[in-house]
Structure 1
Amino acid sequence: MFAAIKEQHKGVDVCINNAGLSHSEPLLSGKTSSWKNMIDVNVLALSICACEAYQSMKERNVDDGHIINMNSLCGHQVFSLADAHFYSATKYAVTALTEGLRQELRAENTHIRATCISPGVVKTEFMSRLYHDSPEKAKVFNNFSLLLQPMTAIDVASAVTYVLSAPPHVQVCALLSFSCSFI
């Protein structure tokens, strides 16, 4: 992927790591293969993309780039939902990885910034995919989400725009965002 970006666009100045998935696999009864899949996508792929983006910026002397890791409120609080406990563990890893990345970028004396954006419930197909094999659980979640007015993709895009528009001397380390009806 990064070779194609280099060929077509010379490289990466901004990387938004937005891939993520969850499986309904509690800690006491979950499948190892599903846990591994979540680690591969939510943790390893994000880390590989951040590393590749940094290398692209470094080789072209880009000193004002940005790496944004899309996270989740589940990366800051463990909710009472057994199906999401392992997912939360991967998202806590994203929180730690983003802070580690920010510290390493600073140690390299670069002005490349790293930010973790952690939205709450967003109206996407995420939950329907999670509960594709359990219509009862999907229905419960959908009824719950109607009560709290989930964020939209535009809301999340606005958070990204806010972070990218911060002045060069401002480092937005983390941005937690959720619908006001949630609080």
Structure 2
Amino acid sequence: MERWAGKVAVITGASCGMGKLLCEELVKAGMIVIGLGRDTKTIQKHADELKKEKGKLIPKAVDFCPLKNDGSLYPDAKKYNHQDIKEVFEFIDKTYGAVHILCNMASQGTSPCLLEDEIGMWKYTVEINIIGPAVLCKYAIANMRKHNVKGHIINVGGTASYYTSIFMDCHFYSVTKFILRAMGDGLRMEFRANNIPIRVSHIGPGHVLTGAQDRGESKTSEVYEGFLEFAKIYGMKRSTFPRRLPIDATGDKVYTSGLLPALQAQNVIDQILGMIAADDGAEVMDVIMKPTDRKHTVLETDLYWRP
């Protein structure tokens, strides 16, 4: 990672979870990290904690979506044209010059299945999972080409980018992540056709212990009832469920309760760092990650329906 010291990385979802952890690792490696998110106070607090490291973290406020999660427009939505993203790259160009790394980590899921999802929620999810990353890629690529750098774009899409989960509340989320991966494939083809030295990587981790379930405030009863329903539909063996009830599967405890195994956030970050550190002659295109698990013979980290 030494060769990246002093270079600029743009990271979305920087206020929490894997985005926050990646910002920290890159700052320690000496990079200038532009952390994007709505909650810049949290990012600034993290930046203050990292002041003694070789690099630095600079928070920038970006809101990918002019819609509320019910699909209705914010009052100033008519003015919304991703200007905040454009201004971030103008700041970078004026202050530091080139962007070398863009990592799209911010993400949004839906809750019901496809048959019950609200159209407004679909629009909200598309804006965050597809349009936002696409706009970021547009400005990052323009900057990289202007400064003639061998840049690197990394999209984090989860295993939902590769397979449709049997968990029905992940179905539309998977639709958006398939598109995100396809966008990376398309960019790679265009880079090759035009001899543009920008690498594109896509990483698909399964369930990861990041605090996301805690933030979503999922309840044990909802989680367990959901698994019982899946057991009926897909013929899961009852023996794979915890024998002693009640269990505590509130929030991220779903991964430590015996229901589901999960990767540690650091596992994923280590893979991303490996992608970045690879020699220019090596492009790590796709990585699928799942926790090493021999206990859950049916309820592995993700179960996929393959017709």
TM-score by length of 1: 0.89
Q: For residues 143 and 133 of structure 1, what CA distance do their matches in structure 2 show?
A: 10
Write out aligned runs for 1:106-117 (5 A): 106-117=192-203
Instruction: For residue 127 of structure 1, report the CA deviation from its aligned partner.
Output: 2.9
CA distance in structure 2 between the partners assigned to 1:100 and 1:45 by the alignment: 17
Q: Does 1:172 align with 2:284?
A: yes
Other-structure match for 1:54: 141
Give how far 1:149 is off. 3.6
After superposition, give the CA deviation of every residue in 1:5-54 in whole Å (9 maximum; x if it has no partner).
22332231111111111120311111111111110010111111111111
Match of 1:66 in 2: 152
- For 1:155 and 1:129, the matched residues in 2 are separated by 21
What 5-or-longer segments of structure 1 have no aligned partner?
none
1:17 paired residue number: 104
Larger radius of gyration: 2
Q: Displacement, 1:102?
A: 0.9
Contact 1:25 1:35 in 2 (8 A): no
Residue identity over aligned pairs, in percent, reads 27
Residue in structure 2 matching 1:145, options 242, 249, 255: 255
* Letter matched to residue 104 of structure 2: N
The equivalent of 2:270 in structure 1 is 158
- Tell me the distance in 2 between the aligned counterparts of 1:94 and 1:173: 13
How many angstroms apart in 1 are the aligned matches of 2:191 and 2:125? 26
Aligned residues: 181
More helix by share: 1
Q: Does the CA-based 8 Å contact 1:70-1:117 persist in structure 2? A: yes
Q: CA separation of 1:114/1:155 partners in 2, compared to 1, >3 Å: closer, same or farther?
A: same
1:4 corresponds to 2:91:
yes
Q: CA deviation at 1:110?
A: 1.6
Q: Does 1:99 align with 2:185?
A: yes
Maintained 8 Å contact 2:137/2:153: yes
Preserved contact between residue 13 and residue 57 of structure 1 (Cα < 8 Å): yes
In structure 1, C-alpha distance between the alignment counterparts of 2:253 and 2:106, rounded to whole Å: 26
For 1:67, what is the secondary structure of its paired residue? strand
Aligned AA for 2:128? V
In the alignment, which residue of structure 1 is the partner of 2:16?
A: none
1:180 match: secondary structure: coil
**C-alpha spacing 1:27/1:149, structure 2 compared with 1 (3 Å):** closer
Equivalent residue letter for 2:99: V
Aligned partners of 1:25 and 1:86 also within 8 Å: no
Shift in CA distance, 129/35, structure 1 to aligned 2, threshold 3 Å:
farther
Higher relative contact order structure (alpha carbons within 8 Å, sequence separation ≥ 6): 1
Which aligned segments of 4 or more residues in structure 1 are displaced greater than 4 angstroms?
Answer: 140-144
CA RMSD of aligned residues (A): 2.0
Q: 2:218·2:250 contact (CA, 8 Å) conserved in 1?
A: no
TM-score, normalization by structure 2:
0.55
CA distance in 1, matches of 2:255, 2:109: 17
Whole-angstrom CA distance in 2 between matches of 1:35 and 1:137: 22
After superposition, the C-alpha distances for 1:116-174 in whole angstroms (9 at most, x for unaligned) are 011111111323444x3755335377565224442122111101111111111111111
